[in-house]
Structure 1
Amino acid sequence: MPMVAYFLISILAIAAPGTYAVQHIVGDSGGWTNSGDYTTWAASKTFNVGDTLLFNYGSSHGVDSLSKADYDNCDSTNAINSYTGGATTIKLTQPGPMYFACPSFGHCSLGMKMTIKVVTQSTNSPTTTTTPSSGNNLSPPSSTTPSTPATSSPTDEAGSTGGTSMVVVGLSMILAPMVVFMC
Structure 2
Amino acid sequence: MANALPLVALLVLAGSAALASATTFTVGDSQGWTTGVNYNSWASSKSFAVGDTLVFNYETKAHTVTEVTKSGYDTCSEANKLSDDDSGSTTVTLATPGTHYFICNIPGHCSSGMKFAITVSATRSGGTGTSAGAPRVPAMASVVVAAAAGAAFIKLALL
TM-score in same-fold range (> 0.5): yes
1:35 aligns with 2:32: no
- 1-structure distance, mates of 2:50, 2:32: 22
Equivalent position of 2:149 in the other structure: none
Matched-pair identity in %: 40
Equivalent position of 2:48 in the other structure: 47
- 2-structure distance, mates of 1:48, 1:161: 15
CA displacement, residues 95-136 of structure 1 (integer Å, 9 cap, x when unaligned): 100000001001000000010110122351598xxxxxxxxx
- 2-structure distance, mates of 1:160, 1:123: 17
Q: Structure 1 stretches (4+) deviating beyond 3 angstroms?
A: 15-19, 157-160
1:161 aligns with 2:134: yes
Deviation (angstroms), 1:56: 0.6
8 Å Cα contact 2:72/2:80 also seen in 1: yes
Q: 1:64 aligns with which of 53, 63, 66?
A: 66
Equivalent position of 2:94 in the other structure: 92
CA displacement, residues 151-177 of structure 1 (integer Å, 9 cap, x when unaligned): xxxxxx445537x8xxxxxxxxxxxxx
Paired residues, number: 126
CA displacement, residues 66-97 of structure 1 (integer Å, 9 cap, x when unaligned): 00011100011221111111000000001100
8 Å Cα contact 1:37/1:111 also seen in 2: yes
- 1-structure distance, mates of 2:57, 2:115: 14
Call closer, same or farther: CA 1:18–1:52 in 2, change over 3 Å. closer
1:23 aligns with 2:24: yes
Provide the alpha-carbon RMSD of the alignment.
2.8
